[in-house]
A and B are shown apart, each in its own frame.
Chain A
Amino acid sequence: MEQPRVNVGVLLRRQLIPVAIAIGVGIIVLLGQFISNATLDDIVGLLVSWGALVAAFALLLGLANLILFHTQRILKRDREMPFSILILVSALVVFLLALPSGGTDAPSQWVMRYIYQPLEASFLALLVFFIGTAVYRALRVRTWEMALFALSAVIVLIGSAPFMSVVSPFFPALRDWVINVPALAGGRGILLGVALGVIATGLRLLTGIDRPYSE
């Protein structure tokens, strides 16, 4: 039976070179974290700055994706077409305003201060109501996890109220116990597991077991 031909050029371009670069760069940057050496630090600094360049280029890809998606929506005369026009016009205006100075001059700062920041604050204010509705929904789910969850939240809420320390020292003490003993222990346990998960993911990438960057 005839063996399938291996195209060495394609293999090099799509597999070997990307894997070699990823593993090599990964090991150098990792060693930079573990060993203090001026030359190594310089190399790591250079590689990280190259990474920043690639990330900046990715932003251009993002912008192209945004323009492509919304242009398609406008051309299709989609129901959401007015919003797509608004997004593209806003993006263009902000881009043109920021272009001369890179976003540090007065017009760009004005957009940030008087348009973006109020909008962001308004959205973040929604969190208060969302937490309320989420907790209310949780209380309706009658499971012991949710009961414990709600009980802990109520203890911390009551214990944090300033007047509670005047009424009784019990609730502030209970709140401190909940935060410093079960919550802290649970949090540290989770962080330990997460750290091991991060190490395992990194090792899989460094050893080439996972190759999301090659075919």
Chain B
Amino acid sequence: MNVILDLLGQSGISPTQAFMWALFLPFLIPFFYLLYRAPRATSRPRLRPIPAYDALKKLMSRAAETGQQVHVSVGVAGIAGAKTADTMAGLYTLEFLADRAANSDIPPLITVTDPTALPAASDQLRRAYDRQGYPDEFQLTYTRFVAPPVNGSAVPYAAGVMDILQHEPIAANVMVGAFGDEFLLMAEPGAQRQLRQIGGTSDPNILPLAQLTATEPLLGEEIFAAGAYLLNRAGHYTSLIAQDIFRIALALLILLVVLLRTLGLF
């Protein structure tokens, strides 16, 4: 073991980094194998139903019927930090909703707090209008920069969203991305108005708030499945299956270690 650690140290890899490699590299095997196989696959795998994604598919038609907008938040993080993946999950959800909205007369009401999320969200909407053949319908103000984070706190943004959800004609509220405690500040006014709310975040500390306030919550890793469920993309299916394979392998490994420890063999 010491010899291996010495060799790694000489090549500029610390024990922590070696552990990261050990977790990261095996994930690449199912990922790239499935990616290679994807074009030859004759059918897509069946996904377990997630009520929130089923509800999202009906949301824009409901908005079109009522003539009211759907509020979309992609979280309080941006696309240049540790929570980028969460923001990306929000952006995939937005992409789906934007495509549907571009076909109706009701644009979504998108709000952001992180400046880097503004061009990303706005661009998703612009592309949706382009794809659907209505580029002139797109307006920059469909995406609202409510307030920037102040000393890392998104409370000013939450205050702005609270006002929107309390006073503006909104058909539903979709909040998928990285959130802190301000999730409750934003979602509770919507819950009190009995709005249909779809909320999802990856932070286990915030999940109870999503469970309490959202009519259809997305819990933890479910937010990262948006691309496969909503956009039906092969690459997203591939990564979803790779995640499942790796998760099962990790669970078996944990069980094996527990068993060996119990028997005193490890």
Report A's interface with B, CB cutoff 8 A: 33-37, 51-52, 54-55, 58-59, 61-63, 65-66, 68-69, 72, 80, 116, 119-120, 123-124, 126-127, 130-131, 133-135, 137-138, 145, 149, 186-187, 190-194, 196-205, 207, 209-210, 212, 215
Out of A72, A124, A134, A215, name the residue touching B155 (CB < 8 Å): A124
Out of B88, B145, B155, name the residue touching A66 (CB < 8 Å): B145
**Docked pose: A205 CA to B112 CA in angstroms:** 22
Out of B85, B115, B239, name the residue touching A61 (CB < 8 Å): B115
Q: Are A192 and B247 in contact (CB under 8 A)?
A: yes
Question: Cβ of B133 < 8 Å from any Cβ of A?
Answer: no
Q: Are A116 and B240 in contact (CB under 8 A)?
A: no
Interface centre among B31, B115, B118 (most CB of A within 10 A): B115
User: B202: which A residues are within 8 A, CB to CB?
Assistant: 190, 194, 197-198
Q: Are B21 and A130 in contact (CB under 8 A)?
A: no
User: B17: which A residues are within 8 A, CB to CB?
Assistant: 33-36
Q: B154-167 toward A: CB 8 Å interface, digit per residue (1/0)?
A: 01101100000001
**Docked pose: A190 CA to B207 CA in angstroms:** 10
User: B211: which A residues are within 8 A, CB to CB?
Assistant: 138, 145, 149
Q: What are some 6 contacts across the A-B interface (CB < 8 A)?
A: A59-B148, A127-B184, A127-B185, A197-B223, A199-B24, A200-B243
User: B173: which A residues are within 8 A, CB to CB?
Assistant: none
Question: In the complex, what's the smallest C-beta–C-beta distance from B204 to chain A, in angstroms?
Answer: 4
Q: Are B144 and A35 in contact (CB under 8 A)?
A: no
Q: Are B141 and A196 in contact (CB under 8 A)?
A: no
Closest Cβ neighbor of B189 among chain A residues: A130
Q: B110-129 toward A: CB 8 Å interface, digit per residue (1/0)?
A: 00100110111001100100
Question: In the complex, what's the smallest C-beta–C-beta distance from A71 to chain B, in angstroms?
Answer: 10
Question: Cβ of B105 < 8 Å from any Cβ of A?
Answer: no
Q: Are A201 and B12 in contact (CB under 8 A)?
A: no
Out of B13, B88, B124, B155, name the residue touching A123 (CB < 8 Å): B155
Question: In the complex, what's the smallest C-beta–C-beta distance from A32 to chain B, in angstroms?
Answer: 10
Q: Are A134 and B118 in contact (CB under 8 A)?
A: no
| With A36-B14, A120-B156, A134-B209 already in contact, 8 other A-B pairs whose C-beta atoms are closer than 8 Å | A35-B11, A62-B112, A65-B140, A68-B140, A124-B181, A190-B202, A197-B89, A210-B235
Q: Are B159 and A123 in contact (CB under 8 A)?
A: yes
Report B's interface with A, CB cutoff 8 A: 11-14, 17, 20-21, 24, 27-28, 31, 35, 78, 80, 84-85, 88-89, 91, 112, 115-116, 118-120, 123-124, 127, 140-141, 143-146, 148, 150, 153, 155-156, 158-159, 167, 181, 184-185, 188, 191-192, 202, 204, 207-209, 211-213, 219-221, 223-225, 227, 233, 235-236, 238-240, 242-243, 246-247, 250
**Docked pose: A193 CA to B13 CA in angstroms:** 26
Given contacts A65-B141, A127-B181, A196-B246, contact A201 B191 (CB under 8 A): no
Closest Cβ neighbor of A149 among chain B residues: B211
Closest Cβ neighbor of A68 among chain B residues: B141
Shortest Cβ-Cβ A-B pairs, 4 listed = A197-B224, A193-B221, A209-B235, A58-B115
Q: Are B250 and A192 in contact (CB under 8 A)?
A: yes
**Docked pose: A138 CA to B211 CA in angstroms:** 9
Closest Cβ neighbor of A199 among chain B residues: B27
Closest Cβ neighbor of B120 among chain A residues: A212
User: A80: which B residues are within 8 A, CB to CB?
Assistant: 167
Q: Are A58 and B85 in contact (CB under 8 A)?
A: no
Out of A59, A126, A196, A205, name the residue touching B221 (CB < 8 Å): A196
**Docked pose: A109 CA to B221 CA in angstroms:** 40
User: A131: which B residues are within 8 A, CB to CB?
Assistant: 184
Question: In the complex, what's the smallest C-beta–C-beta distance from A73 to chain B, in angstroms?
Answer: 9
User: A65: which B residues are within 8 A, CB to CB?
Assistant: 118, 140-141, 143-145
